Amino acid sequence: DGTEIISHRSDTTQKFIVEPVKIEIETEVVSDCKIKEFSGNVSAEKKVLHSFPQGKSHFMFKADDLKLLGNKLEFEAKATDIMEMSKTVKYKIPYSATLITDGVFENVISDFEETNYVRQFTLGYCEFDKAEFSYVNKNAVQQISKAYQNGELVEIIPLYDFLGTEEHNLRLANARASSAIALLGLNKDKVQINIPKDYFFSNENPYGRMMNRAVIVRIKNISDK
């Protein structure tokens, strides 16, 4: 009909401002000996984002920066006591805008897979040549019981020192595992018992031998996601 049709194309550029994300960290080392050294790092894809001391700390980063690094935060802390005994805790979690972690993790071991991680607890300690606990970690009891009720796999690792014959120490380790099962109120047919062939700690000093009279519990959580 003679009307001129003009097509206009408009290109728009949007600028997004990403607010910094604040991560708060609180660490506590529980040890019978005084802690001599402590170091902690938060990283993503092996790039250190923040170093933190023992206690409370926080750091800031931009969410977009982490997306470029794989959307996973890796936490690692190492503590060394005056007896030169060291423990390293590692934990890796996917980052999300609603990331909330309210659990208490002790001696965390992570295989750094998204769907599989292991939590390790020292359940308690036994006296020399005894299967009964002389000390019990109450927090570990709560965490293990909760995990067991949630259907997670519980592995019990009874330790022993180098004093005594191999046969005697095997019986002692099994007795300590039975004490752990009774303490936690677990069904022995639904837990794993793993008696290590090697010593977890040095037997060259009393402190190491005391540590070798502990019972370790590992919780294996395999997500369906």
CATH number at residue 26: 2.60.40
Which among 68, 102, 136 is the end of a domain? 102
Q: What is the pLDDT of residue 10?
A: 39
Distance CA 85, CA 97 (A): 37
pLDDT score recorded for residue 32 = 62
Is residue 14 assigned to a domain? no
Give the pLDDT band of residue 75 (cuts 50, 70, 90): confident
Domain that holds residue 57: 19-102
Most trustworthy range by pLDDT among 32-41, 93-102, 131-140? 131-140
pLDDT surpassing 60 at residue 102: no
Q: How many domains does the chain have?
A: 2
Question: 148 pLDDT exceeds 70?
Answer: yes
Cα dihedral angle (118, 120, 123, 126), rounded to 10 degrees?
A: 130
Residue 2 exposure: Cα atoms within 13 Å on the Cβ side: 0
- Contact in structure between 191 and 155 (CB atoms under 8 Å): yes
Residue carrying structure tokens 């996973």: 72
Task: Write down the pTM of the prediction.
Answer: 0.54
**Average pLDDT, rounded, for the chain:** 76
Q: Which of 70, 102, 134 is the last residue of a domain?
A: 102
Per-residue model confidence (pLDDT) at position 208: 82
Q: Residue 141's closest CA among 122, 118, 119, 126?
A: 122
Taking the C-alpha atoms of residue 150 and residue 155, their distance in angstroms, rounded to an integer, is 15
CA–CA gap between residue 198 and residue 195 (Å, rounded) = 9
What average pLDDT does range 71-86 have in this prediction?
A: 78
- The mean pLDDT of 126-136, rounded to a whole number, is 94
CB neighbours (10 Å) of residue 42? 19
- Cβ density class 158-171: b for 16+ within 10 Å, e for less: bbbbeeeeeeebee
Q: Is the pLDDT of residue 175 over 90?
A: yes
Q: What proportion of the chain, given as a percentage, has pLDDT over 90?
A: 31
